[in-house]
């Protein structure tokens, strides 16, 4: 059995913007690759839609795109959806699509989401804490669908659901969550699941949500980040990897990647300046944008310019206006430019810090100085021995510090 896998189509992304067709064109290409590669089913790991309530315009285009696999000849296979206490045989047309919801197309419990609508219309098989059992010529693939849940609760919910691989089948877990190892910092609002928390015994774990693709070998398993089919954020990681479709071969347990044709390229530049004039910054931005334009064919590229550093005396960040530059590249590139230049006062603070560093004061003496400075502003000023107070505080002797405040100064 061959399964096409992709994710995060974000249909409706940038509605009303010059990029509004891109999500649909890329989604169309992804479905066409799945058909061309003669796969037996398509798996989509969430965020089919960009918003929970897509506009009728988006819905119409989505139905047109989802009718592409429906026109394929029906593969010789049987699908049933199995829940904790339920089992339902699925009737489908053409090439079946099996999907979970993500974060963008998620609606609260009790509200109907768009995927349920597409499921009821026979366009896809929607899994929410359920598994799809696919059987073909005596072979079975089980797709366990863990639809997106809020990150803070995701580890708890995953443990509660506790998916178990089915014996004698090739097991795929499909999810849509942040994974700690792929984030630059730790925050339980953003991720609670780490690779080590993932359940054992699955041949392949497919995750949507993060928009760049990646394959990582785990013990006895493969962890696949599908990436999105459309670039939604001009991030460095998204610039490095092309968008596409993975094809999983259940016998070889292999993954092949097929790039989407005609995808808009993203160029990411981080440029550091030192004592630059506003003219020099603008000229460099122009050169980089021109370079991106000449290095791409097809759709005008997205160019992300991150300009940092400091400016020459007498120049301020406010002097640099990219309006003209953006106009100059209209129709040739989509520019997104950010500037982070140190201002004079910020530079002064840095030089003060450098001065402190150069004077080689110990952390304790810097702390004592700060405490003295802060006390000067209070009524406690000079009412007790500051050094003694600092020592008590640094040793966490809070009660003694309080009694020091209460008793008069010795000298
Ligand atoms: Mn997404």
- Confidence at residue 324, expressed as pLDDT on a 0 to 100 scale: 93
Cβ–Cβ < 8 Å for 144, 131 = yes
- Confidence at residue 181, expressed as pLDDT on a 0 to 100 scale: 93
Q: Separation of 8 CA from ligand 1 center, angstroms?
A: 5
pLDDT profile of the chain (411 residues), mean per 10: 98 94 97 97 98 96 97 94 95 96 90 95 96 96 95 94 96 97 82 94 97 94 97 88 96 95 93 93 96 91 94 88 94 94 66 70 74 74 76 81 71 48
Q: Separation of 44 CA from ligand 1 center, angstroms?
A: 11
Q: Separation of 14 CA from ligand 1 center, angstroms?
A: 13
What value does the CA radius of gyration of the chain take, rounded to a whole number of Å?
A: 29
Locate the domains of the chain by residue range: 2-259, 266-345, 361-406
- Confidence at residue 238, expressed as pLDDT on a 0 to 100 scale: 85
Which residues fall inside 5 Å of ion ligand 1, going by CB? 8, 47
Q: Which residue has the tokens 């013990």?
A: 219
Please give the sequence-ordered ranges of beta strands (E in DSSP) within 127-213, or none if there are none. Answer: 130-136, 139-146, 170-175, 204-207
- Confidence at residue 409, expressed as pLDDT on a 0 to 100 scale: 55
Q: Which residue has the tokens 């984030």?
A: 183
- Confidence at residue 402, expressed as pLDDT on a 0 to 100 scale: 80
- Confidence at residue 180, expressed as pLDDT on a 0 to 100 scale: 93
Q: Separation of 325 CA from ligand 1 center, angstroms?
A: 31
- Confidence at residue 344, expressed as pLDDT on a 0 to 100 scale: 55
Q: Separation of 279 CA from ligand 1 center, angstroms?
A: 38
Taking all residues of the chain, what is their mean pLDDT, rounded to a whole number? 91
Exposure pattern of 359-398 as b/e (b: 16+ CB <10 Å)? eeeeeeeeebeebeeebeeeeeeeebebeebbebeeeeee
- CATH T-level topology, domain 2-259: Purple Acid Phosphatase; chain A, domain 2 (3.60.21)
Q: Separation of 290 CA from ligand 1 center, angstroms?
A: 30
Is the entire prediction scored with pTM above 0.85?
no
Q: Separation of 230 CA from ligand 1 center, angstroms?
A: 9
Q: Separation of 157 CA from ligand 1 center, angstroms?
A: 20
Tell me: the pLDDT tens digits for 327-383?
A: 999 999 999 999 998 765 566 666 777 777 666 666 777 777 777 777 777 766 667
> Phi then psi for 387, rounded to 5 degrees?
-65, -45
Q: Separation of 45 CA from ligand 1 center, angstroms?
A: 9
- Confidence at residue 403, expressed as pLDDT on a 0 to 100 scale: 81
Q: Separation of 89 CA from ligand 1 center, angstroms?
A: 30
Question: Based on the number of CB atoms within 10 Å of its own CB, is 325 exposed (0-12), middle (13-18) or buried (19 or more)?
Answer: middle
Q: Separation of 233 CA from ligand 1 center, angstroms?
A: 10
**Rounded Cα distance, 27 and 9, in Å:** 6
**Rounded Cα distance, 285 and 28, in Å:** 34
Cβ–Cβ < 8 Å for 334, 300 = yes
Tell me: the pLDDT tens digits for 120-170?
A: 999 999 999 999 999 999 999 999 999 999 999 999 999 999 999 999 999
Q: Separation of 183 CA from ligand 1 center, angstroms?
A: 15
């Amino acid at each position: 059995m061959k399964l096409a896998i992709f994710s995060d189509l974000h249909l409706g992304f940038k509605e009303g913007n010059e990029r509004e067709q891109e999500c649909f064109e890329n989604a169309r290409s992804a479905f066409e690759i799945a058909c061309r590669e003669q796969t037996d089913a398509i798996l989509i790991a969430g965020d089919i839609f960009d918003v929970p309530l897509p506009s009728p315009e988006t819905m119409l285009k989505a139905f047109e795109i989802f009718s592409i696999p429906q026109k394929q000849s029906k593969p010789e296979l049987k699908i049933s959806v199995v829940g904790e206490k339920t089992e339902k045989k699925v009737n489908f047309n053409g090439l079946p699509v099996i999907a979970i919801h993500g974060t963008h197309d998620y609606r609260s419990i009790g509200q109907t989401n768009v995927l349920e609508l597409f499921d009821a219309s026979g366009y896809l098989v929607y899994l929410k804490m359920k598994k799809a059992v696919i059987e073909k010529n005596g072979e079975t693939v089980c797709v366990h669908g863990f639809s997106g849940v809020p990150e803070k609760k995701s580890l708890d919910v995953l443990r509660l659901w506790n998916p178990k691989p089915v014996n004698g089948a090739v097991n795929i877990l499909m999810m849509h969550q942040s994974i700690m190892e792929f984030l630059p910092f730790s925050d339980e609002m953003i991720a609670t699941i780490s690779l080590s928390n993932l359940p054992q015994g699955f041949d392949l774990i497919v995750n949507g949500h993060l928009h760049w693709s990646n394959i990582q070998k785990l013990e006895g398993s493969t962890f696949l980040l599908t990436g999105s089919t459309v670039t939604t954020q001009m991030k460095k990681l998204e610039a490095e990897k092309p968008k596409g479709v993975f094809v999983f071969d259940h016998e070889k347990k292999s993954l092949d990647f097929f790039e989407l044709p005609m995808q808009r390229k993203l160029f990411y530049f981080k440029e550091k300046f030192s004592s630059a004039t506003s003219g020099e910054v603008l000229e460099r931005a122009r050169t980089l944008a021109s370079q991106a334009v000449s290095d791409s064919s097809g759709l005008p590229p997205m160019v992300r310019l991150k300009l940092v550093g400091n400016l020459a005396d007498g120049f301020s960040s406010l002097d640099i206006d990219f309006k003209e530059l953006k106009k100059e590249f209209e129709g040739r590139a989509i520019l997104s430019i950010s500037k982070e230049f140190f201002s004079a006062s910020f530079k002064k603070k840095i030089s003060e810090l450098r001065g402190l560093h150069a004077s080689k004061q110990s952390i304790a003496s810097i702390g004592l100085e700060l405490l003295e400075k802060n006390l000067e502003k209070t009524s406690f000023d000079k009412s007790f021995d500051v050094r003694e107070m600092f020592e008590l505080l640094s040793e966490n002797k809070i009660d003694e510090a309080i009694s020091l405040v209460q008793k008069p100064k010795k000298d």
